[in-house]
Amino acid sequence: MEWMLDNAYLMLLLAGGFGFLMAWGVGANDVANAMGTSVGAKALTVKQAVIIAIIFEFCGAYLAGGEVTATIRKGIIDAETFAHAPQYLVYGMMSALLAAGIWLMIASWFGWPVSTTHSIVGAIVGFAAVGLGMEAVHWDKVGSIVASWVTSPLLAGFISFALIRSVQKLVLNHDDPFERAKKVVPYYMFLVGFVISMVTMVKGLKHVGLHLTFLQSFLWALGGGAIVMIVGSMFLKRIKPDPEADKDFRFSSVERVFAVLMIFTACAMAFAHGSNDVANAVGPLAAINSVIASGGQVGAKAAMPSWILLVGAMGIVFGLAIFGARVMATVGKKITELTPSRGFAAELGAATTVVLASGTGLPISTTHTLVGAILGVGMARGIGSLNLRVIGTIFTSWVVTLPAGALLSILFFYFFKGLFGA
């Protein structure tokens, strides 16, 4: 313990590097998930998606990414169990960051959309169970996270299925779908603005000390929906039908209307994601900083210095820019064919699920939610429209994520113990 405190700057430098690696993985995998639907639906190019994500993810992560974070991610283990050996918490969190970061790099390289939350959860469970004993882990919390593998994709899939069915009934099945779209899409825009505002209010702004009640968040979100509806309607007025394109594909002009809608969705999803999921990278880093800065004291909460948020935000941006295209291709193109109307249904279905989960306290993965939403959209056209081989690979990567994070974390925990001394 004395050696660690005497070499505090070295330990923080190492931890910062591991935190950056983890944030890189979040950017390459999770952010690519959020942008993949917009790219796959051709509402945005890869370059445009990266630029939007860089701006809005950075703003979300840095401005609303967290003043205070729980030392132990999602209450999986009890901070008090480290009181007798605070160095184990430092070694463990460093191991968790390194393990989850490496696993996310591997998954992103192969284009697998896995859960960054489950990666870090598996890593923390791994070092805690081995380093402190099985009783140190709150297995009921782990069980609820495993249950979310089923609940979040099903809920998002159901909502997205209902949304794309409403698009078919209200717009596509009419004699003049283009004019019908220009009348109906503003209401969808209101819905997008409302839901994304709720995501930001409920999941994001609590980090900057704005603890709004659910009713207050609801009222602010109504305002957000109205603003998006007004601004979006101004853009829609500029879109004219293209009879030539409609000869090849009847709904070509209609999909251009929905493409405008998806730009709003992509911007807002990026901000909401940055404000929420940056905690996967910076939470453990804040815990390490707290132990070292306090001279070995372990608390249930850890302050969030701005330099840690900066490390997380920068890592997310670099990860997306360098590795993001691989996961974007899987989510946007390989599961099922997406158009702007289908992509809109998937993104809104996923965002709505996040809001519902936040209100009920259900632990979910944004990755699983979005993939489930895309499956729901595909099912609306029949199971033949889904690439079952790709889906099988994705499901396998989900199951492997927790044990992979745990195993790597255990190996690194013993390595750091041997290197720095118990």
Q: What is the 3-state secondary structure (H, E, C) of 320-367?
A: HHHHHHHHHHHHHHHCCCCCHHHHHHHHHHHHHHHHHHHHHCCCCCHH
Q: How far from the centroid of its chain's Cα atoms is residue 174's Cα?
A: 36
Q: Is the pLDDT of residue 62 over 80?
A: no
Question: Which backbone phi and psi does 356 adopt, to 5 degrees?
Answer: -60, -40
Q: Where is 81: in which H helix or E strand?
A: none
Q: Strand, helix or coil at 43?
A: coil
Nearest to 285 by CA among 13, 82, 59: 13
Please give the tally of structural domains in the chain. Answer: 1
- pLDDT at 350 > cutoff 50: yes
- Asked whether the predicted pLDDT for residue 68 surpasses 70, the reply is no
Q: How sure is the predictor about 163, in pLDDT bands with cuts at 50, 70 and 90?
A: very high
Q: Which pLDDT score, from 0 to 100, does residue 356 have?
A: 75
Q: Which helix (H) or strand (E) holds 36?
A: helix 32-40
Contact 35, 52 (CB under 8 A): yes
pLDDT of residue 61: 72
Can you tell me the mean pLDDT for 108-113? 87
pTM comes to 0.82
Which residue range is the domain that position 220 belongs to?
2-420
Say if residue 422's pLDDT is above 70.
no
What's the burial of 344, exposed, middle or buried (CB within 10 Å: 0-12/13-18/19+)?
buried
Window from 100-114, 332-346, 352-366, 403-417 with minimum mean pLDDT = 352-366
DSSP, collapsed to helix, strand or coil, labels residue 137 as: strand
Rounded CA separation 88/77 (Å): 13
User: Which is more confidently placed, 80 or 110?
Assistant: 110
Cβ neighbors of 162 (< 8 A, separation 6 or more) are none
Ranking 116-120, 144-148, 262-266, 276-280 by mean pLDDT, the lowest is: 276-280
Classify residue 148 by burial, with Cβ atoms within 10 Å: 0-12, 13-18, 19+.
buried
Tens of pLDDT, residue by residue over 403-421, are 999 999 999 999 988 887 7
CA distances 231 to 3, 100, 102, 190, 193, Å, are 58, 40, 42, 10, 11
**DSSP symbols for 235-294:** HHTT----HHHHHHSTTHHHHHHHHHHHHHHHHHHHHHHHHHHTHHHHHHHHHHHHHHHT
150 φ, ψ (degrees, to nearest 5): -95, -45
Spatial distance between the Cα atoms of 223 and 422, rounded to a whole number of angstroms:
55
* 302 pLDDT tier (thresholds 50, 70, 90): low
Q: Is the pLDDT of residue 170 over 70?
A: yes
- Burial tier of 287 (Cβ tally within 10 Å: 0-12, 13-18, 19+): buried
Residue 130 contacts residue 410 (beta carbons within 8 Å): yes
Position 69 pLDDT exceeds 50: no
* Beta bridge partners of residue 69, listed in sequence order: 302
Q: Per residue in 5-25, pLDDT tens?
A: 677 788 889 999 999 999 999
Query: What secondary structure letter does DSSP report for 84?
Result: T
Residue 242 has pLDDT above 50, yes or no: yes
Q: What is the mean pLDDT of residues 219-240?
A: 89
Neighbours of 83 (CB within 10 A): 12
Q: In this model, does residue 227 exceed pLDDT 80?
A: yes
pLDDT at 157 over 90: yes
Mean pLDDT calculated for residue range 55-69: 66
Residue 162: its pLDDT value, please?
94
Amino acid at 227: I
CA distances from 363 to 68, 143, 148, 175 (A): 19, 10, 6, 44
Q: What is the rounded distance in angstroms from the CA atom of residue 392 to the CA atom of residue 390?
A: 5
Q: What is the pLDDT of residue 67?
A: 44
In the predicted structure, residue 188 carries a pLDDT above the cut 50: yes
pLDDT at 52: 85
Average pLDDT, the chain: 82
Residue type, 62: Y
The CA distance from 2 to 319, in Å, is 35
DSSP per-residue letters across 224-249:
HHHHHHHHHHHHHTT----HHHHHHS
Strands 301-303 and 68-70, how do they pair?
Answer: antiparallel
> Range with the lowest mean pLDDT among 68-72, 102-106, 133-137, 263-267?
68-72
The pLDDT value given to residue 355 = 72
Tokens for 379? 């099912």
Instruction: Give the pLDDT confidence score for residue 104 in this predicted structure.
Output: 93
Give the ranges where 110-138 is alpha helix by DSSP (H): 116-131
pLDDT at 88 over 60: yes
Kindly state the average pLDDT of the residues 256-279. Answer: 78
**278 contacts: CB under 8 Å, gap ≥ 6:** 23, 26, 60, 61, 65, 66, 309, 312, 313, 316
Quick check: 105 pLDDT over 70? yes
